[in-house]
Amino acid sequence: MNKNRLSLTVLLLIWLLTSNGGLSVASDVMIDVAPDKAYYRPGETVTLYVTATGSAAARIEATIVHLTETLAVLGADLAGGAARLSWTPPAAAPRGYGAEVRLLGADGAALATASTAFDVLEHWIQAPRYGFLSEFAPDRADIEETMAWAARYHINGLQFYDWQYRHEALLPPEDPYTDLLGRRLSLQTVTRLIGAAHARHIAAMPYTAIYGASAAFYAQHPDWALFEWPDHPYKFGDDFLYIMDPTPGSPWAGHLLGEFGRVLEETAFDGIHLDQYGAPKVGRNAAGERIDLAEVFPAFIDRAAEVVHRHRGDDGAMIFNAVGNWPVETVAPAGQDAVYIEVWEPYSYFLDFHRLVAEAQQLGGGKPVIIAAYIHPDQTPNVRLADALIFASGGYHLELGEPGAMLTDPYFPKFGQMDSATQTLMKRYYDFQVRYEEVLALDTSDAAARAADLILDGIETGGRRSRDRVVVVARAGDGFETFSLVNLMGLENGRWQTALPAGPAPLDDLTVRIRAEKPVKRIWWASPDGDDLGVHPLSFTADGDQISFVLPRLEYWDMIVLEYSP
């Protein structure tokens, strides 16, 4: 286990004692609620586990909501400080729900409140809240707790990073085993983690690399490599790995695809996560022929997807890393199930997150988009703005997974540790993303033009700057439109990798005007920036094709939804 990580028991105790994301405390009263799975399939029953303390606590009551509609009110008596609530949602998918829970005393008075969210999906890849695991030591003892933590944050897919024996030989010859960096690992631990993940409806995806091989393997197969020039193969990381030629039909491609087949035959992994290193972009094979990897990658992805779906059918998933957004034009339309982008220069500004997600949605034909961008959890304003822009754009952010951890480095074991306040914050943001996924995870071809139809009096909303403006992200659905406002006012700088000393300057009583060519039935707003994630109605006036209203407050991110009359 990482020496810098608190034990899970201590971590959860701190979280329970100090956070209010899903938990509310009043005097000696405490309540916590969490779903038993990361998501639910159509027809499945949702189970919410509630724990509570306080001498006066007697009963739990929960209101289940879908957007603006209350669907059910559930109740249960506390027994030993715990209760379980069950409800079967409609089979429609994808669909997100909120659960507002109240702790009641014997006299029926409310003592404390808490909230959570859950969603119904046909397949996790419909809304891939992708996370990570990086610790596979033989003595790992917190496996069940790890998956409970992931499910609390609705993480429904986990990338098992550097679980393999070697890049070219994924399964170990013995167990335990030592990887290329000298880490002591266990396939038994990997297997137990996969099983515990599946019990929570969390997919397990094995990390692999499309062209990395050890020096020993290269020495055995020197003519399988990708060359800069004759007799000079490409290398990665101070000769740590050699770059092989992944052209379909090449010896290396056949070997690696065979390894994928072995992994899917001998483990319960749910697909393949395929990495690259961003360079080289071109090379030559042993015969001296030019290899353009922007053309080779999509062809290999298609072959790998065939292997995945041959072994896992429609339940399998194939994901490829477009490092630095390259070559997204060719790999986004390929046979992968989501567009995954690891963000590097020149995409250094907050607004680049929206541009990357929107472009990938178009190139991928509406496939979900996952962003891997590494920000230390100590940089709270950076984390909040990044997630606001990614989530508001309908994307997903690879950042959580190991309990209490946040990714800070492309080598995943170098993760950062969230304090209790940051965990509370992340819980709110992920609850919000799940609860409102139907009005967030939308694609529209005229989103930029529609965003320009929203005007904030006295506030800049246009342009490409990532500071001193409010970003407007528009999404269109069936009978409604969503306008997300992300606040970049007063930032010291607009770079997401440069730590901000403070968040944006909050804005109060914003006058909002929107051109609306159809009759507006209702307007409401919601935000993840406070304890109340619920819907707040807005009064509005109409003047011709323009409506106007006042938004009470914008801290980081507010979501406004316009519902139209039939």
Question: Which regions in the chain score pLDDT beneath 50?
Answer: 1-26
Structural element, H or E, at residue 194:
helix 187-199
Asked if residues 124 and 381 have their Cβ atoms less than 8 Å apart, the reply is: no
Residue 9: other Cβ atoms inside 10 A: 10
The CATH superfamily label for domain 8-120 reads: Immunoglobulins (2.60.40.10)
pLDDT at residue 407 in the model = 98
Beta-bridge partners for 271? 317
Structure tokens at 205: 């995806």
pLDDT at residue 239 in the model = 76
pLDDT at residue 238 in the model = 79
pLDDT at residue 493 in the model = 95
pLDDT at residue 53 in the model = 86
Which strand ranges, in their side-by-side order, compose the sheet holding 69-77? 69-77, 57-66, 95-105, 110-120
Residue holding tokens 């969490």?
34
Cβ within 8 Å of residue 516, ≥6 positions away: 542, 545, 546, 547, 562, 564
pTM of this structure: 0.94
pLDDT at residue 254 in the model = 98
Q: How far apart are CA 483 and CA 494, in angstroms?
A: 22
The answer to whether domain 8-120 and domain 447-564 are alike in fold is: yes
Pairing verdict, β 541-543 and 546-554: antiparallel
- For 294, list phi and psi in degrees, rounded to 5: -65, -25
pLDDT at residue 443 in the model = 67
Omega before 537 within 30 of 0, i.e. cis: no
pLDDT at residue 1 in the model = 39
Residue boundaries of the structural domains of the chain: 8-120, 447-564
Residue 236: other Cβ atoms inside 10 A: 17
Structure tokens at 555: 């801290």
pLDDT at residue 353 in the model = 97
Asked if residues 326 and 363 have their Cβ atoms less than 8 Å apart, the reply is: no
Instruction: For the domain covering 447-564, report its CATH number.
Output: 2.60.40.1180
- Report the SS3 class of residue 339: strand
Residue 242: is it exposed, middle or buried by C-beta count within 10 angstroms (0-12/13-18/19+)? buried
Q: How far apart are CA 117 and CA 36, in angstroms?
A: 11
**What is the distance of C-alpha 517 from the center of its chain?**
35
Q: How far apart are CA 263 and CA 496, in angstroms?
A: 37
